[in-house]
Amino acid sequence: MTDVASRRDAGERPAPPERVVTLTVNGRSYALRMDTRVTLLDALRDRLGLVGTKKGCDQGACGACTVHLDGRRVLACLTLAAQAEGRAITTIEGISGTDGPHPVQQAFMEHDGFQCGFCTPGQIMSAVALMAEGRAGSDEEIREFMSGNLCRCGAYPNIVAAIREAATRGGHDARL
Amino acid sequence: MSTVESRPRIGAGVNRVDGPRKVTGTAPYPMDFSVPGQAYGALVQSTVAAGRIVRMHTEAAEGAPGVITVITHENAPKVGTGPVTVLGASPPPPLRDDRVVHHGQHIAFVVAETPEQATAAARLVRADYEATEPLLDLQDPRAEQLVDPWGTDTSRGDSAAALESAEVTLRATYTTADNTNNPLGLFATLAAWEGETLTVHDTSQWPSMVRTCLAMVFGIPESSVRVLVPYVGGGFGAGLRAWPHVILTAMAARMIKRPVKLVLTRPQMFTSVGHRPSGVQWLSVGATRDGELVALDHRSLSSLSMEDNDYEPFAWASSFAYRCPNVTTQDRQARLNVAVPTSMRAPAEAQGNFALESALDELAHSLRMDPLELRLRNHTDVDPRNGLPWSGKALLECYEVGARRFGWSDRNPEPRSMRDGNWLVGYGMASALFPYFAQPCAAQATVNRDGSALVRSAATDIGTGTYTVMAQLAAEELGLSLDLVRFDLGDSDMPNAMMAGGSGLTGALGNAVHDACRRLVRSFAELACGDADSPLLGFSPDDVECTDGKVHPVGRPHLGESYADILARHGLSELTANGNSTPPVATELGMSLAGAYGAKFVEVRVDADLGLLRVARVVSVIDGGRILNEKTARSQIIGGTVGGIGMALFEDTVTDPRTGRIANGTFADYLVAVNADVPEMDVVFVGEPDRGTATGTKGVGEVGLVGIAPAIANAVYHATGKRLRELPITLDALL
């Protein structure tokens, strides 16, 4: 600790490495000049204004920042924006259809699968991916594979009910 | 007009009106706001728990890229102190002097052009300390003890003598851990000054109080401060204070004449916004051989920080939970070098009820009596403190319905007698209450020319459903369909509201909304009843009601007309009325205000070899008075239950006993219940609208948590024969 601090004090700070990163988010492309150390989460929130993706810990422990990279769920706080270059990034802002909410969003509303709503975008992004992964076969399975998304309000039973319904109703609908 | 009696006991479980925003990520939380030109703050926190700062080294940070200023106690402007509220004194303002009273105290605030620059520069700030030995042990004899800090100690009869002569006595000590609120939403503040006018987005459960506090701190009129929080991101009590970081952010914005934004980190959430304090409780219970309580002595000692207040009388509710002639309750707090504790979901009751309901279970087993039967035998329908009837108490119905739905009678009373393969199966139960609480509230109701209504109050919706249930209530009072009514909140410029806390907001605000809507209807009735062109001409405004969007004489909807018609004919764009509520007084009512009750039944499974502990099912039967929305109320009970499971099995904020540093201040290390920890739940509402208030509600935000931890501990005893008196109950205790 002391060594690091004293090195910092000595002013040995190289200029932050910057470059242009091109991100494809919800089907749109953005070229952003930024520090290569910026996380995908901060790029989405601070550079693109897509604040639906939430920061709950910034340490990969709560799931609030869950987004999809090429359809698979990742934690945006543990992903560098530069790593997402050339891949399809989907956020909560990108999953509603033109004809209304995604079936998972609708099921969350019907089953009251949230309270304060802060973890909800991450829960929904996880739930959508979970069904694509084929992990929504039983309540037990849903519980297990949704356990990376903390909900401090404790809406878990309603989240399970919402996913169960969306999975049952939607089957293997292409949108799921 | 409609009366409480004619309303449904359980209101329609309509979906949350804010649901579409929450599921699409468009609900704006404090951390989501930005304004042009804003700078970013980062906190520097002390690395010792006690002592004084000898010197601050800020030069490196000041020279770092993008840094605008570094504020320490050496250059911070002197500011005032916030108000004393029902929760006690405001937290002392930050950076007053060189003293350090807990690890993680804010000792500097770095402001820079970007969040990354602020964070990087904050790590360059160093402090030289003259450290002293911190007081960290609750039972350290050197720690100052506050005796009866809230004036809540009680004594009736002679509990000492009654214990002496009781046929059966039980004495036991229970301990509960520090728990951290940890709402998922990181607390954020965005402060912007325009001259002497301050606008703040802040994670708060009580914007009216934050406004008062900031006005006092900066010496400006309350009308010059506006606090906004349309969506909170959870609180569980953490948002009940105007915390030092809020003041620091506003202070910095004033100093640099630019807006400043601060978002706490998760580790900072452990030291900056309160926690549920740890405590020790001593219970002595005396009873007859057939289970009648004759004496109860309940004492507590809980932890408190050096300079703050925290309302936490663990033992108090034991003075009215059961019929018992000889009762003593005493609460003390010990001042330690720890971060300030604060209310966390079911403050005091979460801890106190664990001790009381565990002790009663122990007593029942020692009497070889059904624990449920012991509760029934000591039930009271009157407040034992004053002999007044409760304004509503359906606890007996809670027991009866709960026992039936759970299958309590299937239980083999013998500990360690029920088994499913290698799982030891245990049944446990506990009684629960959360005392009545309310503060004054105001609301304003408007009906517009287009026939829609807007009702507003400076309240918050922390996830409880305030947006929804207040819109439902207003729609009912105004006779409008829900889609024509909007409830707005989260803005301190709106009429004053109490905190979203103490399970009090729904009742107090509901009564204010009820009042505002009735006054508004009255205004319309007075206009119409004196209008020659109105079908209501000649009717008394006292005999008017509203249904299906029409104002009409009671029982005669065909003589009605719409709000829009009345406004149009009088050339008005809107009519507005203000409403208020003040807490009822028990002696005036001739009733004691009851609060919510519940009975909790839990099945646990313990692996006979490995000690693994799983909660298998939970039945909660709740008397919440009138329930405005079955769906959101049920969610409150479910959420409280999850919090109770966390308290019972996982949550333990560990403070290093030498340094005072919190050793597990992350979501990876501080365990909370996750989806896979939470079983099927059965939630049922029973009882009648509370007789003490106009709307008949009781508030259900906390009663869902109360009783879960002791029901689990009691079930663990039944499963294993091991009595565990310390929370959380972890695997090592079961091996």
Domain ranges of chain B: 33-133+184-234+239-272, 279-437+588-734, 439-583
- Residue ending a domain, choose from A53, A72, A94: A94
Instruction: Give residues with Cβ within 8 angstroms of B407, minimum separation 6.
Output: none
Same domain (yes/no): A109, A79: no
CB A114 within 8 A of CB B22: yes
* Residue of chain B whose alpha carbon sits nearest to that of A121: B25
Domains B279-437+588-734 and B439-583 fall in the same CATH topology = yes
B398-409 pLDDT tens trace: 999 999 999 999
CB B576 within 8 A of CB B446: yes
pLDDT beyond 90 at B243: yes
The backbone region for B334, taken as left when phi is positive above 0, alpha when psi lies in -120 to 50, beta otherwise, is beta
Domain encompassing residue A86: 17-94
C-alpha span between B547 and B390 (Å, rounded): 33
pLDDT beyond 70 at B26: yes
C-alpha span between B275 and B269 (Å, rounded): 9
Q: Name beta bridge partners: B246.
A: none
Active site residues of B: 702
DSSP state of B670: S
C-alpha span between B729 and B710 (Å, rounded): 11
Same domain (yes/no): A83, A33: yes
Instruction: With CB atoms and an 8 Å threshold, state whether A56 touches B667.
Output: yes
**Hey, is the C-beta of B15 within 8 angstroms of any chain A C-beta?**
yes
Q: Give the pLDDT confidence score for residue B647 in this predicted structure.
A: 98
**Hey, is the C-beta of A7 within 8 angstroms of any chain B C-beta?**
no
Question: Domain for residue A44, yes or no?
Answer: yes
CB B333 within 8 A of CB B365: no
Query: Percentage of residues in chain B with pLDDT exceeding 70?
Result: 99
Nearest to B489, CA basis, from B456, B454, B447:
B456
Give contacts of A58 with chain B, Cβ < 8 Å. 265-266
Q: Edge to edge, what strands does the sheet with B550-553 contain?
A: B544-547, B550-553, B561-562
Same domain (yes/no): A23, A45: yes
What is the SS3 assignment for B101? Answer: coil
Question: Domain for residue A48, yes or no?
Answer: yes
Q: Could you check whether the bond before residue B244 is cis, i.e. omega within 30 degrees of 0?
A: no
Give contacts of A96 with chain B, Cβ < 8 Å. 24
Q: Give the pLDDT confidence score for residue B361 in this predicted structure.
A: 98
Same domain (yes/no): A55, A120: no
Q: Give the pLDDT confidence score for residue A171 in this predicted structure.
A: 52
Q: Give the pLDDT confidence score for residue A174 in this predicted structure.
A: 37
Q: Tell me the pTM.
A: 0.96
Same domain (yes/no): A37, A73: yes
Residue B46: half-sphere exposure toward Cβ, Cα within 13 Å: 33
Residuewise pLDDT in 10s, chain A (176 residues): 444 444 444 445 566 788 999 999 999 999 999 888 899 999 999 999 999 999 999 999 999 999 999 999 999 999 999 999 999 999 999 999 888 999 999 999 999 999 999 999 999 999 999 999 999 999 999 999 999 999 999 999 999 999 999 999 865 443 44
Question: Domain for residue A111, yes or no?
Answer: yes
CATH number at residue A158: 1.10.150.120
- Residue ending a domain, choose from A43, A66, A94: A94
Residues B4-30 have a mean pLDDT of 88
Instruction: Give the residue with greater pLDDT, B246 vs A169.
Output: B246
Tell me how many domains chain A contains. 2
**pLDDT band at residue B6, thresholds of 50, 70 and 90?**
low
Can you name the CATH fold of B33-133+184-234+239-272? Aldehyde Oxidoreductase; domain 3 (3.90.1170)
Can you name the CATH fold of B439-583? Aldehyde Oxidoreductase; domain 4 (3.30.365)
C-alpha span between A113 and A109 (Å, rounded): 6
Owner of token pair 């508004």: B520
Provide the sign of the torsion angle of the four alpha carbons B356, B282, B705, B434, taken in this order.
Answer: positive
Give contacts of B620 with chain A, Cβ < 8 Å. none
B525-576 pLDDT tens trace: 999 999 999 999 999 999 999 999 999 999 999 999 999 999 999 999 999 9
B167-226 residues touching A, CB cutoff 8 A: 182-186
Domain B279-437+588-734: which CATH number of 3.30.365.10, 3.40.50.1980, 3.40.605.10, 3.90.1150.10: 3.30.365.10
What is the SS3 assignment for A33? Answer: strand
Same domain (yes/no): A62, A39: yes
Residue B29 tokens read as: 């939380």
- Residue ending a domain, choose from A60, A75, A94: A94
C-alpha span between A109 and A111 (Å, rounded): 6
* Residue of chain A whose alpha carbon sits nearest to that of B21: A117
Q: Which of A64, A115, A148 sits opposite B463 (nearest CB)?
A: A115
pLDDT beyond 80 at B290: yes
B350-409 residues touching A, CB cutoff 8 A: none
Q: What is the complex's ipTM, to 2 decimals?
A: 0.97
B246-275 residues touching A, CB cutoff 8 A: 263, 265-266
CATH number at residue A32: 3.10.20.30
| Average of per-residue pLDDT values in chain B | 96
DSSP state of A14: P
Instruction: With CB atoms and an 8 Å threshold, state whether A11 touches B124.
Output: no
Q: Which of B21, B22, B666 sits opposite A59 (nearest CB)?
A: B666
Give contacts of A39 with chain B, Cβ < 8 Å. none
A54-93 residues touching B, CB cutoff 8 A: 54-62, 64, 91-93
* Residue of chain B whose alpha carbon sits nearest to that of A141: B676
Question: Domain for residue A85, yes or no?
Answer: yes
Nearest to B731, CA basis, from B589, B548, B635, B609:
B609
Same domain (yes/no): A79, A22: yes
Between CA B358 and CA B608, with CA B173 as vertex, the angle to 5 degrees is 55
Question: Domain for residue A5, yes or no?
Answer: no
**pLDDT band at residue B5, thresholds of 50, 70 and 90?**
very low
Question: Domain for residue A176, yes or no?
Answer: no
C-alpha span between B665 and B89 (Å, rounded): 26
Q: Name beta bridge partners: B455.
A: B445, B487
CA of A86 to nearest chain B CA: how many angstroms apart?
24
Give contacts of B673 with chain A, Cβ < 8 Å. 154, 156
Give contacts of A42 with chain B, Cβ < 8 Å. 115-116
Instruction: Give the residue with greater pLDDT, A170 vs B633.
Output: B633
